[in-house]
Amino acid sequence: MYRVIEAGQLADRIFQIWVEAPHVARHALAGQFLVIRIDEHGERIPLTVSAVSGDLVRIIFMAVGKTTHQLSALKAGDFIRDVAGPLGKPSEIGMRGTCVVVGGGAGIASCPIIARAARDAGNRVIGIIGARNAGYLILEDEMREACDDLLVATDDGSRGFHGFAADVLKEVIAGRKVDCVWIIGPAIMMKVTSEVTRPKGIRTFVSLNPIMVDGTGMCGSCRVQVGGETKFACVDGPEFDAHQVDFDLLMQRQRTYFDEEKVSLERYHEHACRCGEGGHHG
């Protein structure tokens, strides 16, 4: 059992939890993830290690499915049944020169820890964060602190640049030499945004988020195609060379349990209504 130390809402449908998990917190590096199982009936879901502090790990998630809705109802003092990690390979930081870290939506959660690691390694770091509108934007202050420069974009122009993170990235790489780019967000955003750096051949990493079960290379549920080869995102990734990734396949496989996920969420909401208090029943 792992204790929730702090829990709260960051933006529209986006939540954060600080959970006590020393075995993860003490060893996690930028780019790695953990797997949680909320209770005895829970599924195992992977979430990026968004920050660590002593024995605490932070996870940030958007409430979309049953498990994330249930997570969003947790309060300080509650418990998460299982937290396993750190899993996956850390980001290949290194001394590269100028790095750009691009985050989209809930994917911004993964950015500060990478930006900080890149800056600590001696890189100049430019951050770009984008969201549908100002209400969905998270971690702006944290990114401002972690980066040398931060650029903000919203699809509707309600904050910062009016447009996509991809548009901002295009301008940044047109204006100066960029050596390495990280792009983290929904699959479609990573697909579109990584096209920006392809013509210039800029080293670009994306962090893939396929469906996983164990997260340790045991089941192959998370297999992705990278450069025509099958890779397991959990152990060979989660970060891969963006220009080699088959994003369409990733998105296809993410929809495997579309119907089941709907059933599960509806059942949860029904149950939550009957219990009368947001589904939280300790």
Partner 1 sequence: MGERPARDRIRDFFEVDCGLSAEEAVAEAERCMQCKKPSCVRGCPVEIDIPAFIARIAERDFRGAARIIKEANLLPAVCGRVCPQEVQCEGACILGGKEMPVRIGELERFVADREREQGLVIPPVAEPTGKRVAVVGSGPAGLTAAAELARDGHMVTVFESLHEPGGVLMYGIPSFRLPKDVVQAEIDQLRGMGVKILTNHLAGASIPVAELHAYDAVFIGTGAGLPFFMNIPGEQLNGVYSANEFLTRVNLMHADRFPEYDTPVRHAGRVVVVGGGNVAMDAARVARRLGARVTLVYRRREEDLPARRAEVIRAREEGVEFELCANPVRIIGTHFVTGVECVRMEMCSLDDSGRPEPSPLKGSNFTIDADMVIQAIGQGPNPLLIRKIEGITYGRKGNIVVDEEGRSSLEKVFAAGDVATGAATVILAMGGAKKAARAIDRMLREDQRDR
- Which residue, 18 or 33, is less far from partner 1 as judged by CB? 33
Member of 170, 235, 244, 272 binding partner 1 (CB under 8 A): 235
Binding span for partner 1 by CB under 8 A among 35-43, 103-111, 181-189, 195-203: 35-43
CA distance 114 to 128: 13
Provide the minimum distance between the beta carbon of 119 and partner 1 in the complex, in angstroms, as a whole number: 25
Burial-class residue 103 by CB neighbours within 10 Å (0-12, 13-18, 19+).
Answer: buried
Q: Indicate whether 133 belongs to the interface with partner 1 (CB under 8 A).
A: no
Provide the minimum distance between the beta carbon of 273 and partner 1 in the complex, in angstroms, as a whole number: 16
Member of 13, 23, 96, 144 binding partner 1 (CB under 8 A): 23
Range 59-78, binding partner 1 (CB under 8 A): 66-67
Q: Which ranges in the chain belong to alpha helices (H)?
A: 22-25, 66-72, 111-120, 140-146, 165-175, 187-197, 233-236, 247-254, 258-275
Member of 31, 46, 85, 279 binding partner 1 (CB under 8 A): 85
Strand partners of residue 48: 33
CA distance 236 to 231: 6
Q: Which tokens sit at 47? A: 């979430």
CA distance 133 to 158: 6
Interface ranges with partner 1 (CB under 8 A): 23-24, 27, 37, 41-44, 66-67, 81-87, 213-214, 216-221, 223, 225, 230, 235, 249, 252-253, 255-257, 260-261, 263-264, 267
